[in-house]
Amino acid sequence: MKLEELEQMTDDELKKLKSQVDKIISDRERISIKPAKLDAYTLFSKMKERLSIELKIELLNADLTGLSLDYIKKTDKVAYKQIGKVTEMLNKYLQSLLDRNPTSGEKIRWYVLYTELCAENLIKINVPLSIRSLAYQCDSFPSLLNKAFPGYIKAGVVSKIVEDEDETYM
């Protein structure tokens, strides 16, 4: 695409094109990522989806499409490291509860569950939602999980929460 064509595009068209380019870049980066980092990217995307929902409600269509884990890595190294720690903790915790290696579908549902329970808790206690505030809820997650699903951990049936119904879910 030539520069003249870009200059003639409307703001909405440019935003749409930017979103498409960001997705292409993100997809290319994802292909070359190691599994542990891929899990961190997946968790981050679930956090971002939840934030987008909340921000759209509060700020009327706030746009987080440009926010990427690479951007967080450059601008907030502490939050970036915390996302890695949360991902590792969630994976180990799920593996210990299941007594086996979780599937990618189970991990995704686990990340969604983490994000939802932590976001609800933050809203309840009037803490602003952000990637950082979600990432720092990892110590609260076991108690939030037990509160949301009383007895599941003790009974050893956490697998019922994250069980694969359709492995194509992503």
pLDDT beyond 50 at 72? yes
Residue at 85 is within a domain: yes
Residue at 169 is within a domain: no
Q: How many domains does one find in the chain? A: 2
Residue pair 51/129 in contact by the 8 Å Cβ criterion: yes
Could you tell me which residues come within 8 angstroms of residue 98 by beta carbon, excluding any fewer than 6 positions away?
106, 158, 159, 162
% residues pLDDT > 70 (the chain): 81
Measuring CA to CA, which residue among 165, 169, 156, 125 is closest to residue 117? 125
pLDDT beyond 90 at 117? yes
Residue at 148 is within a domain: yes
pTM for the model stands at 0.67
The predicted pLDDT at position 55 comes to 66
Residue at 116 is within a domain: yes
CA distances from 110 to 38, 87, 156 (A): 15, 10, 15
Structural domain range at position 23: 1-32
Look-up: residue for tokens 């601008």?
Answer: 75
Give yes or no: residues 73 and 156 share one domain.
yes
Give yes or no: residues 149 and 95 share one domain.
yes
Give 4-50 pLDDT, tens digit per residue: 777 888 888 878 887 777 777 666 655 555 556 778 888 888 888 87
The identity of residue 68, as a single letter, is S
